[in-house]
Amino acid sequence: MSRKCSGGVRLTKYECGLTGEGVSLYEMLKLIELSKDAGDYRKLRMKVFAENYLGKNSDSRIDNILRAFKKRFLNDADKGLPPVKVLSLAIDSDLPEESKRQILFPYYLFSDDLLRTTYDELVIKSMEKGERLTINNADVVDFLKELGKGHKNIAAWSENSKKKWATRFLTFLRTFGMLEKYPANKLKKMYVLPETFAFFALWLADNGLPFQRIMTYILWRFYLMSVEEVLERTYYGNKKDWWYFEEAGGIITFQPRYNLGGWLEHGLE
């Protein structure tokens, strides 16, 4: 569904939703946890307002957060990511707290075309080429202006709208540990915990992907993980007995000891 930015500009693909929705990581975690018992979205929304579950004083702010939650975690059919039911099990498990945050990272990117495109161009490609070690608000605004040359909706945003969206983008990076704390502006690689890797690797294995495809899955690119880093975490999981992994003579054997649900319940002990 399209929404409006300042000036009444109606957007379709590249939307300004991040400006109003915010990153709201703490709230996303709370809503995922609530979804386990609340059932469908309508019941969850009613419960949030009836109990002021998010502790906010503004109904419009709550609406923005709920809209973000629905977009990021309830429209999973086209993302190829574990559904919110599985996420709720993960949030309620013995996963490290940092891993619980890290597994939400791709849901933001896969549900927001503008966020994903900006991240791809200004972070992934720049770091792959070693061209950019810092990023600030002006860099993001300049990118939006360049993108606007081919997208009239973005070109129509006011300067202030671009700056607000850019601020949210930098907050997104800082929230996931990919940008130093303000006022510093140096980009950093997220250290992807082995448990974060295992969560998605087991999900992919549950869905029938052979390890050769798991190893090169597009998800790891968004985490800025090299093939070597993927293998490093695979060997770690082997030592933890999460799976059996062997690579010999060009032949790879990968046999999970658990499905994802079983690993969340028993494999983290």
Q: Which residues contact 1 (CB under 8 A, 6 or more apart)?
A: none
**161, 5 in Cβ contact below 8 A?**
yes
* pTM confidence score: 0.92
Q: Which residues contact 151 (CB under 8 A, 6 or more apart)?
A: 13, 14
Q: What CATH number did the domain enclosing 137 receive?
A: 1.10.3540.10
Residues 26 and 75 in one domain: yes
Residues 71 and 160 in one domain: yes
Domain that residue 232 falls in = 194-267
Provide the domain count of the chain: 2
Half-sphere exposure of 52 (CA within 13 A, CB side): 5
E strand or H helix that includes residue 203:
helix 194-206
Q: Exposed, middle or buried: residue 12 (CB in 10 Å: 0-12, 13-18, 19+)?
A: exposed
- Provide the residue-wise pLDDT of the chain in tens; the chain has 269 residues: 334 444 333 344 788 889 999 999 999 999 999 998 877 899 999 999 999 999 999 999 999 999 999 999 998 656 689 999 999 999 999 999 999 999 999 999 999 999 999 999 999 998 888 777 899 999 999 999 999 999 998 999 999 999 999 999 999 999 999 999 999 999 999 999 999 999 999 999 999 999 999 999 999 999 999 999 999 999 999 999 999 999 888 899 999 999 999 999 999 97
Q: Which residues contact 185 (CB under 8 A, 6 or more apart)?
A: 134, 135, 136, 170, 179
